């Protein structure tokens, strides 16, 4: 029969996971296009041999990415883009490590004129290729459908079109260790030009979806719950210790 200590420890493990997730959300409250994490737990109730008694356990089922978007704020930088709608930019990982996906639209031009993200990774077009800006361009325009235009010597030319991709099932999105998102290829599809569901906003960025006040309040509540469970475990440990001491005394 599991006592309160075992039950309490299962709850503490779940609460510790929640604390870590919420603390990470708070730390990224000002990170561009950051999507908060959420935890999913499942409670199990096991009946004991003692009539009328049962014990509850908590199991960590999953941590998933919150699909809610952050607010869009203007920056005035022509190479900043925000995605209005359910879609992601595709980025090429270094060393032929495949693709990653992001909503962070802080773009810049690399020394070789490739359009890259803040980490210097090439941002891909709709066909998976690189976007090369012309030499000595004086202005850039990124249209709502992702078309990139560059002006050189007073003449505008089309560079290409930023690839925008929609996930088949948002619940399958996971975060990679490099700051990019992993999206299962099953159901992943490019956004067609002229789509009314998704558009790019030039000169703007998406803010973090984390609401700091709500997350800090949640962090406080979780810490209190953790402390309460800790007291239960400590009380049960004290009870067991006293019982052992009493039973161990010679008659």
SS in 3 state form for 79-144?
CEEEEECCCEEEEECHHHCCEEEECCCECEECCCCEEECCCCCEEEECCCCECECCCCCCEEEECC
User: Is the same domain home to 7 and 38?
Assistant: yes
| Tokens (6 digits) for 188 | 């992943």
Output DSSP code: residue 162.
B
Angstrom distance (rounded) from CA 104 to CA 231: 43
The confidence score (pLDDT) of residue 46 equals 46
User: Is the same domain home to 201 and 214?
Assistant: no
CA–chain centroid gap for 85, Å, is 16
Angstrom distance (rounded) from CA 22 to CA 27: 9
| Tokens (6 digits) for 25 | 């959300």
User: Is the same domain home to 51 and 133?
Assistant: no
Q: Which residue has the tokens 């999105």?
A: 173
The C-alpha R_g of the chain, in whole angstroms, comes to 26
Q: Which residue has the tokens 């199991």?
A: 59
| Tokens (6 digits) for 136 | 């000595």
Angstrom distance (rounded) from CA 60 to CA 53: 24
User: Is the same domain home to 78 and 197?
Assistant: yes
The count of other CB atoms within 10 Å of the CB of residue 7 is: 19
User: Is the same domain home to 151 and 50?
Assistant: no
Q: Are 144 and 136 in contact (CB under 8 A)?
A: no
User: Is the same domain home to 178 and 60?
Assistant: no
User: Is the same domain home to 80 and 104?
Assistant: yes
User: Is the same domain home to 90 and 24?
Assistant: no
User: Is the same domain home to 195 and 77?
Assistant: yes
User: Is the same domain home to 7 and 80?
Assistant: no
Per-residue pLDDT of the chain (251 residues; tens, 9 = 90+): 455 656 666 667 777 888 888 888 899 999 999 988 887 655 544 444 444 444 444 554 567 788 888 999 999 999 999 999 999 999 999 988 889 999 999 999 999 999 999 999 999 998 999 999 999 899 999 999 999 999 999 999 999 999 999 998 877 888 888 889 999 888 899 998 888 899 999 999 999 999 889 888 988 888 888 787 777 777 666 776 777 777 766 65
Number of domains in the chain: 2
pTM over 0.95: no
Q: Which residue has the tokens 């019982």?
A: 243
The confidence score (pLDDT) of residue 104 equals 96
Q: Which domain holds residue 221?
A: 2-66+210-248
Domain's final residue, options 172, 190, 206: 206
User: Is the same domain home to 97 and 189?
Assistant: yes
User: Is the same domain home to 76 and 193?
Assistant: yes
Q: Which residue has the tokens 């990415």?
A: 65
The confidence score (pLDDT) of residue 9 equals 65
């Amino acid at each position: 029969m599991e006592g309160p200590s075992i039950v309490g420890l299962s709850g503490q493990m779940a609460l510790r996971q929640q604390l870590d997730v919420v603390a990470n959300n708070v730390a990224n409250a000002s990170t561009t296009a950051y999507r908060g994490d959420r935890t999913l737990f499942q409670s199990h109730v096991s009946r004991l041999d003692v009539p009328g008694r049962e014990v509850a356990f908590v199991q960590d089922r999953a941590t998933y990415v919150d699909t809610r978007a952050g607010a869009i704020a203007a920056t005035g930088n022509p190479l900043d883009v925000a995605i209005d709608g359910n879609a992601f930019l595709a980025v090429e990982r270094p060393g032929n490590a495949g693709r990653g996906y992001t909503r962070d639209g802080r773009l810049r031009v690399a020394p070789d004129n490739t359009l890259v993200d803040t980490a210097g990774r090439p941002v891909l077009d709709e066909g998976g290729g690189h976007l090369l800006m012309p030499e000595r361009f004086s202005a850039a325009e990124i249209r709502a459908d992702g078309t990139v235009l560059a002006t050189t010597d007073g003449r505008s030319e089309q560079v290409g079109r930023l690839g925008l991709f929609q996930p088949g099932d948002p619940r399958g999105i996971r975060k990679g260790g490099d700051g990019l998102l992993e999206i299962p290829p099953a159901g992943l599809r490019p956004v067609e030009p002229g789509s009314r569901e998704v558009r790019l906003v030039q000169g703007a960025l998406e803010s973090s979806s984390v609401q700091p006040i709500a997350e800090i309040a949640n962090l406080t509540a979780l810490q209190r719950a953790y402390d309460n469970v800790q007291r239960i475990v400590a009380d049960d440990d004290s009870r067991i210790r006293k019982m052992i001491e009493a039973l161990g005394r010679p008659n």
